[in-house]
Amino acid sequence: MRTILEGRVIREGRVEGEALTTRQPISFYGGVDPETGRIVERGHELEGVVITDKVLVFPYGKGSTVGSYILLRLRKRGLAPRAIINQKCEPIIAVGTIMAEIPCVDEIDVSKITTGDIVRIDGPRVEIWKRRPDP
């Protein structure tokens, strides 16, 4: 089953990959280890999960403006997410995705995307292929 959503482009790009979703906001400064690409925020539902090469889906960012530079550092180390999809992209995430050249779209109903779904971003268009449950 394919779902098509239209959002707002924050950083232009065409990319396809596996979704990694959370219903919790993410702070890149203090919440993501820039040396491993792993979520390290205590109590976060993705604690211990690596975001590298995933289409990272979360409602919005939080935390310090240093988070923008963490996204850039992740990109330079080859540990960045493939793309970011937000419900509402705030300035920290927007600046980070622009500096790090990570495609980013917001104004998307992130509840329609589940971890493991295949997501294709092409400008404002987000296509979602639902993963099939194991038999």
Instruction: Give the active site residues.
Output: 64
Cα gap 3→22, rounded to integer Å? 19
Q: Is 93 exposed, middle or buried (0-12, 13-18, 19+ CB in 10 A)?
A: buried
Cα gap 51→82, rounded to integer Å? 9
Residue type, 86: N
